[in-house]
Amino acid sequence: MSDEENRINAENRAKCICRPCPTYNECMRADDERLFCVTGKSPACTFDKKGCLCPSCPVRSILNLSKAYYCIRGSEQEQK
Ligand code: SF4
Ligand code: SF4
């Protein structure tokens, strides 16, 4: 990944609203997992779907995303 991509990912990661999501759990919190829409689903955590805040996330419009539940289903690219 280029420096520019790393910079953009860091910016979007800061804007990610996964942490207050009802589906976000202690397992994901332990590793501060975020930005699943770019990095893919949570590698080790399992959880129940309790709603997804992605449709109201600012990163969604920045990256022109259309899916949801990235933490479970994988990145936008993986869901295409
Ligand atoms: S779209 Fe979802 S996974 Fe992607 S940054 Fe926003 S809240 Fe996080
Ligand atoms: S990807 Fe969606 S469902 Fe998963 S934690 Fe983020 S906002 Fe919640």
Residues with CB under 6 A from ligand 2: 18, 21, 23-24, 36, 52-54, 68-71
Q: Report d(CA 60, CA 67) in Å as an integer.
A: 9
The residue assigned the tokens 């990095």 is 39
**Ligand positioned closest to the Cα atom of 65:** 1
Q: Report d(CA 50, CA 21) in Å as an integer.
A: 8
Cα Rg of the chain (Å, integer): 12
So what's the pLDDT on residue 79?
93
Q: Report d(CA 70, CA 28) in Å as an integer.
A: 13
pTM of the model: 0.95
Domain boundaries, the chain: 3-73
Please write the tens of the pLDDT for every residue from 39-75: 999 999 998 999 999 999 999 999 999 999 999 999 9
Q: Which two tokens stand for residue 6?
A: 């790393």
Q: Which two tokens stand for residue 49?
A: 């779907």
So what's the pLDDT on residue 1?
84
So what's the pLDDT on residue 56?
97
